[in-house]
Amino acid sequence: MSENQSQLPLKEIIKQEWLRCAQDPVYWMKKYYWIQHPQRGRIQFNLYPFQEKVLIQLQKNEYTIINKSRQLGISTLASAYALWLMLFQKDKNILCIATKQETAKNMVTKVRFAYDSLPKWMQIKTSEHNKLSLRLANGSQIKAVGATADAGRSEAVTFLIIDEAAFIEGIDEIFASAQQTLATGGQCLALSTPYGTGNWFHKTFTKAQNREGKFVPLSLPWTVHPERTQVWRDAQNEILGLRHAAQECDCDFSTSGDTVIEPDMLNFYEASFITEPMEKRGIDGALWLWELPDYSKDYMIVADVARGDGTDYSAFHIFDVAEAKQVGEYKAQISTRDYANVLFAIATEYNDALLVVENANIGWSVLEHLIERGYRNLHYSSKADTTMGANEAQMSRMENGQGMVPGFTTSMKTRPLAISKLVSYIQEKSVIIQSKRLLTELRTFVWKNGKAQAQSGYNDDLVMALAIGLFLRDSALRFRQQNMELTRAALGSFHTNNHSSAGVFSYNSQNSNPYKIDDGMGGTEDISWLL
């Protein structure tokens, strides 16, 4: 207190102090905001220079997104800013959303602890003071809610805090609804450590870096903390493991997340193998080819069929079996009949390739069309193993008389085996994949509730086709190595063509042009336009 202040009445001194705090949040936080430190107990919140810079940005911008290292005190800073708004401005409605209500409650807990630690003259009478909310008599309040679809939908929010934004399931819809409540000039702070690519947090932060959208980005790696050294960072590798240390400390999206395939390995594939195809066929360029068929090689085509609800795609890969190499790829939304015609044509072109079609859902319709056209190198599975995606009438109609039905059955038994094979092939660098479309799907193929599947809002059609192909290839090679008969129950048989003339490739089909089909009226139709 200055000499001039000491001569003033107490009420005037308090008034001046109140005004200074209202004008300078850094001053107020350093002097009046107390925190519960896990090791040091109750201490004052003495801001680091980087925290002061964050606070300045919060004041200047309506929308701020922070990609941060762990334990930088940014959540504490957000709680301090929230209480400062509540004390010095009327009718501030602050909402904290996190993965779980319990996590969001931690923000309110920090605010309540700091409020209770204020001098009595600074406290404003409360009308609500519990674990999930604090409401002051001036109309300002803070509430904690879990990440549900209607979070913040029904009320006007002046400051929205989204904590651990990268980990919130369905955050796209939550933010879209909450954003409507910010339309009158409210603020939003989204903060998180990274958790993989392709989610709302990653996409929003990347757009912000490109100066797209409303958010202003801040990146806060571990190096911004003045008390952290390289020794500390190295210790995190031992404590957390290399992958989680990169996620929690380095603000690195590419090495973070819970992807089925290690991000470092995906980065290796991107640098080593991913390339543009030599040819793209079709109106939309849906068919990508890296190699034309070689008459001396065996090929396998593995096809996934869209469910038909408009949210996923029909997709297939063309494999060079001996080299475990992807030489072609297709991904499009297409009718089952047209898809069957595309498969027939391209499989015939690639030396009557072994054609593996997943027989779940409407995959049976594709298989029926292929059988109608007389494709003779289809993969068959045991009828006893086919328990999904078909009724008994379908299976009986398509059974070959030996307890076998066309296609591959993805079941609770075969799916994890196929995914395991996918992981081992990629980790051992035993498969060559060349498609950036496939790589994109692999980056968003994650563990979710113990199951490997596409991240919300993304597809895994190409990934599953790859997994099935590698699973079947491995089975074929294993049976061959053991000198066992390669039966249709395992993989079918690879058909070797007898070519009468040299060249890059030739057809071994009753129809010299696989792109011509009967039109049902005594003529033919050229379906090459599909490709």
pLDDT by residue, tens only, the chain of 531 residues: 555 555 678 888 889 999 999 999 999 999 999 998 777 788 899 899 999 999 999 999 999 999 999 889 999 999 999 999 999 999 999 999 888 778 788 889 999 999 999 999 999 999 988 888 999 999 999 998 887 766 656 568 889 999 999 888 888 888 887 777 777 778 999 999 988 887 899 889 999 998 998 999 999 999 999 999 999 999 998 888 877 888 889 888 876 667 888 888 888 999 999 999 999 998 789 999 999 999 999 999 999 998 766 677 899 999 999 999 999 999 999 989 999 999 999 999 999 999 999 987 788 889 999 999 999 899 988 766 655 445 455 555 566 556 678 889 888 888 889 999 999 999 999 999 999 999 999 988 888 777 888 887 788 999 999 999 999 988 766 554 444 444 444 445 444 444 333 333 333 344 466 766 665 566 666 666 566
Please tell me whether residues 287 and 205 are part of one structural domain.
no
Q: What is the count of structural domains for the chain?
A: 2
Please tell me whether residues 193 and 325 are part of one structural domain.
no
Helix (H/G/I), strand (E/B), else coil: 161: strand
DSSP 259: B
Cα 354–Cα 359–Cα 363 angle in degrees, nearest 5: 100
- Distances from the Cα of 518 to the Cα of 210, 354, 428, 514, angstroms: 52, 23, 46, 11
Q: Look at residue 258 and tell me if it is in a domain.
A: no
We report the CATH number of the domain holding residue 404 as: 3.30.420.240
Please tell me whether residues 184 and 217 are part of one structural domain.
yes
Q: Look at residue 256 and tell me if it is in a domain.
A: no
Instruction: Spell out a b/e string for 509-524, using b for 16 or more CB atoms within 10 Å of the CB, else e.
Output: bebeebbebeeeeeee
Please tell me whether residues 193 and 282 are part of one structural domain.
no
Q: Look at residue 70 and tell me if it is in a domain.
A: yes
Task: Look at residue 137 in the predicted model and tell me its pLDDT.
Answer: 94
Distance CA 83, CA 87 (A): 6
Q: Look at residue 448 and tell me if it is in a domain.
A: yes
Please tell me whether residues 403 and 297 are part of one structural domain.
yes
Please tell me whether residues 275 and 148 are part of one structural domain.
no
Please tell me whether residues 198 and 296 are part of one structural domain.
no
DSSP string, 403-428: SEEESB---TTHHHHHHHHHHHHHHT
Please tell me whether residues 422 and 509 are part of one structural domain.
yes
With tokens 């809610």, the residue in question is: 145
pLDDT in tens, 269-291: 999 999 999 999 987 899 999 99
Show which of 196, 226, 250 is a domain's final residue: 250
Q: Look at residue 255 and tell me if it is in a domain.
A: no
Q: Look at residue 257 and tell me if it is in a domain.
A: no
Q: Look at residue 493 and tell me if it is in a domain.
A: yes
Q: Note the helical H segments in 251-362.
A: 263-272, 336-349
pLDDT in tens, 346-356: 999 999 999 99
Q: Look at residue 69 and tell me if it is in a domain.
A: yes
Phi-psi region of 170 (alpha: psi -120 to 50; beta: other; left: phi over 0): left
Show which of 205, 222, 250 is a domain's final residue: 250
Residues 6+ apart with CB under 8 A from 210: none
We report the CATH number of the domain holding residue 107 as: 3.40.50.300
Distance CA 445, CA 220 (A): 27
3-state percent helix, strand, coil for the chain, nearest multiple of 5? 40, 20, 40
Show which of 250, 281, 299 is a domain's final residue: 250
Residues 6+ apart with CB under 8 A from 430: 324, 424
Please tell me whether residues 413 and 508 are part of one structural domain.
yes
Please tell me whether residues 243 and 270 are part of one structural domain.
no
Please tell me whether residues 510 and 363 are part of one structural domain.
yes
Cα 82–Cα 85–Cα 89 angle in degrees, nearest 5: 155
Domain that holds residue 220: 3-250
Task: Look at residue 147 in the predicted model and tell me its pLDDT.
Answer: 75
Please tell me whether residues 275 and 233 are part of one structural domain.
no
